[in-house]
Structure 1
Amino acid sequence: MISSLSINFSFPLLKPQTIHYGPFKTINIKNRSQMKNYFSDNKKQPKGINGSVVPSPKRGNGSERERGQGIGIAKFLQGKNYLVTGATGFLGKVFLEKMLRTAPDVGQIFVLIKAKDKEAALNRLKTEIIDSELLKSLEEVYGKNYKTLVMSKLVAVPGCVCEYDLGMDPLRANEIAAKVNVIVNSAASTKFDERYDVALNSNTKGPSHLLNFAKSCKNICLFLHISTAYVSDGEAKIIQESPLCMGESNVSRKRNNISENQTSVPSLDIDNEMRLATNIMELVNDSEVAKEMKILGLERAKIHGWPNTYSFTKAMGEMIITSLKGDIPLAIVRPTVIGSTYKEPFPGWIEGNRMVDPFILSYGQGKLFGMFADSKVILDMVPVDMVVNALIAIMAKHVNFDNPNLTVYHIGSSMINPISIGDMVDYFYTHFKCCPLSDPKGMILASPRFDIRNTQKLMEEMSDEEIREFWFDLGSINWEEYICNIHIPGLRKRVLKSK
């Protein structure tokens, strides 16, 4: 929630000098080396929402976790076959890298790639995934011929989630349906103001098309759908890990707060939303379609209580698969704002100018002089490698324990290890003060907190070995170190291509 309190940014000077760190603290740092030494000597213990020290996940006496069995992640990964969408995206790449690094005996991973034919799909697999800086880390595990192993595991499949049959060749579709055990849906259109027709196809229809395919898979163990934490009511103080109900808008959830003179609550009819988009496209001139579709998406989202087209269409996608899942085991994962890697396969890997990052870079380049915001508002960030580790643990939990129930998992830090806008700006200032950019050529604000009891319970059930290999304890993140020493340096190197 943005208020009228102004935060004035003080930009770094090019010469070394004393840093005024927040309203109470002054430190003297002259270069990057001193900054790293400062943070290593002054690491802060993460604090909970009441200021208390955040506890580690509980360890039960005599539990399977204590005996070293945990939830069986290693057993789960052996020999399973996967169908993965969105693998050329930021989260998808990290997921593939982790799977290949920790599970050399994994079965085939069919990678659905938007392409016109097999050759084009294979080319995208090689150039956008296998040849990426991220997957080069596999050389340390498998040697210089690591690409041969990767090519033996990853199968490029031309197709598109927007099409009813996923755009797959029928023979390939039958092969995958006979082999696949787990479907991981990471495909999405993530622009907040995306064209309504495009967002509906990717975020609303796409998941239902995959679910229909899952129902044809003979050995399906789990459909894992990656959504976003922001599909839920942004005005609730604590957002629960619960599924969305078909046709229930955010406005209807707030019906008790509706004024007396408001006579009706708009009903959310997903089929009608799709017809509306189609009808308007037919009525508008081709030259105006893109503009009108963007306007329509934002209008429809706000009518039903969502802030943008992205979260609205993702919410409708959740509603459809929840209502139509039948006997398909389903888990929905809702990460908050995903940032660069914290540790794996190396700190600071990021791709693209994401979420809060335009603000960081604008600040560092001297283009952002201030903003109106409440400095106490909590931002909810999670490193991408922690999200991936949680995804793998969730898959193992549902498959090994034969859990047919739908479970929703929030992966977020606001309940267990919150970071405020004020703290974030302090960290920007500290970094750019000692390490200014040499060539100075929507943020999501989470005022509510996201309940993470399901995700925390998952960690409590993991063995010590599983926690070491698939660590995602969000309470252990040192935000000062992550923002100043990992995330911003990653942005500088991989987005700005500067030192």
Structure 2
Amino acid sequence: MESCCIEQFLEGKTIFITGATGYLAKILTEKILRVQPNVKKLYLLIRAPDSISAKQRFNNDKTVFPVAGDIACNSMGINSELKDEMCREIDIIVNSAATTRFDESYDTAIRTNVLGAMHVLKFSKQCSKLMMLLHVSTAYVCGEKEGLILQKPLNYGEMLNGSSHLDIDVEQKLVEEALKDLQDRNATEKEVTLAMRVLGIERVRLHGWPNTYSFTKSMGEMLLGHLKEDLQLIILRPTIILSTYKEPFPGWIEGMRTMDTFIVGYGKGKQKLAMGGRETITDVVCESVICIYSVPYVSWYKSVHLLTF
């Protein structure tokens, strides 16, 4: 499909993007505004306690509207009046909000990557004219398998190591009980964070995923697939995201991410070697063109994994 078709599709559409201050969502927002200036409206969810704080984090114009909220909260923390207005207007939702730290505190990771996905889904079902929900996941929900890995939906409760059934409610309850126990013992904030990281690692090892990030993103996918009903759902599973490939200009990146620390270390002469196989092909993503269409179409990535439900 030609890019002009996608530009035409975006014309007059109202789009809601979560994780708006994140690197990926910034690229998406810039691309939409550049290729289709006649997009009707962009609602950008910004984690902030109120609208004033949200506007301080984002300089808006007549097309772009910062929305104060947090996907970890019910109704994403959006006030009811604004929520009703959004639900009447939104055509497309892009959920790119996530915590991506591999050893994130288990409570934080579940709250954002699991319950957050469910909150976005519930919100999506209230949008009367919604055409699709695009959820950004990760290729590593498939774990550390070897060989050809089919891009198929994760069944609710499925585990990578083939052991007993994964119960997401049980995982959430374990977190709640652990937090209560820590509170009863008057644990410090540092002790709580450490305990939650350790709990996450323990649960990851039990269920067969490589880290807390990929495990909680997997549970988020499971909930979406299990509860979506007749909602048009598309899941993107990018691998390692690096700098831009071409647009808005080659090589743009914000901060140091993923492989960048190794590249910078080598460039500065501080990292003399890196462990790895000489014949290994590194699967990375160079952001290039961002496309959304009613029929799933992506030229967004040089390397991308896509699922349609």
TM range (shorter): over 0.9
Aligned to 1:234, what secondary structure does the other structure show?
A: coil
Matching residue's letter, 1:75? Q
Report deviation, 1:454.
7.6
Report deviation, 1:299.
1.4
Matching residue's letter, 1:324? L
Of residues 272, 294, 299, the one that matches 1:369 is: 272
**Is residue 289 of structure 1 aligned with residue 199 of structure 2?**
no
Deviations 1:255-293 (A, max 9, x none): xxxxxxxxxx23211110011011111112432110010
Alignment of 1:175-324 (within 5 A): 175-252=85-162, 265-284=163-182, 285-287=186-188, 288-324=191-227
Aligned to 1:101, what secondary structure does the other structure show?
A: helix
**Is residue 350 of structure 1 aligned with residue 253 of structure 2?**
yes
**What CA distance in whole angstroms lies between the structure 1 residues aligned with 2:238 and 2:286?**
10
**What CA distance in whole angstroms lies between the structure 2 residues aligned with 1:326 and 1:318?**
14
Task: Name the residue aligned to 1:74.
Answer: 7
Q: Which range moved further: 93-102 or 377-386? A: 377-386
Report if aligned partners of 1:221, 1:329 keep a CA contact under 8 Å in 2.
yes
Matching residue's letter, 2:85? E
Deviations 1:152-204 (A, max 9, x none): 11101111000012101100000000000111000000100100000001101
Report if aligned partners of 1:161, 1:207 keep a CA contact under 8 Å in 2.
yes
Report deviation, 1:369.
2.8
Of residues 20, 42, 50, the one that matches 1:117 is: 50
Task: Name the residue aligned to 1:134.
Answer: none
Of residues 381, 393, 406, the one that matches 2:284 is: 381
Of residues 77, 100, 103, the one that matches 1:167 is: 77
Task: Name the residue aligned to 1:494.
Answer: none
**What CA distance in whole angstroms lies between the structure 2 residues aligned with 1:372 and 1:339?**
20
Report deviation, 1:410.
10
**What CA distance in whole angstroms lies between the structure 2 residues aligned with 1:173 and 1:113?**
14
Matching residue's letter, 1:269? D
**What CA distance in whole angstroms lies between the structure 2 residues aligned with 1:115 and 1:208?**
20
Report deviation, 1:71.
8.7
Matching residue's letter, 1:106? V
**What CA distance in whole angstroms lies between the structure 1 residues aligned with 2:160 and 2:132?**
28
Deviations 1:139-161 (A, max 9, x none): xxxxxxxxxxx611110111100
Structure 1 residues not aligned, in runs of 5+: 1-64, 127-149, 253-264, 400-407, 414-449, 456-499
Report if aligned partners of 2:286, 2:301 keep a CA contact under 8 Å in 1.
no
Change in CA separation of 1:202 and 1:107 when aligned onto 2, cut-off 3 Å? same
Amino-acid identity (%): 41
Of residues 255, 263, 267, the one that matches 1:360 is: 263
Tell me the TM-score normalized by structure 1. 0.58
Task: Name the residue aligned to 1:24.
Answer: none
Report deviation, 1:409.
11
Tell me the TM-score normalized by structure 2. 0.92
Matching residue's letter, 1:239? I
Of residues 22, 26, 31, the one that matches 1:98 is: 31
Report deviation, 1:411.
5.2
Report if aligned partners of 2:234, 2:307 keep a CA contact under 8 Å in 1.
no
Of residues 326, 332, 338, the one that matches 2:229 is: 326
Where relative contact order (Cα < 8 A, 6+ residues apart) is larger, the structure is 1
Structure 2 residues not aligned, in runs of 5+: none
Task: Name the residue aligned to 1:88.
Answer: 21
**What CA distance in whole angstroms lies between the structure 2 residues aligned with 1:245 and 1:86?**
26
**What CA distance in whole angstroms lies between the structure 2 residues aligned with 1:202 and 1:195?**
11
Report if aligned partners of 1:380, 1:412 keep a CA contact under 8 Å in 2.
no
Task: Name the residue aligned to 1:45.
Answer: none
**What CA distance in whole angstroms lies between the structure 1 residues aligned with 2:113 and 2:201?**
15
Report deviation, 1:244.
0.6
Aligned to 2:151, what secondary structure does the other structure show?
A: coil
Change in CA separation of 1:244 and 1:177 when aligned onto 2, cut-off 3 Å? same
Matching residue's letter, 2:246? K
Moved over 3 A (4+): 408-413, 452-455
Q: RMSD in angstroms over aligned alpha carbons?
A: 2.2
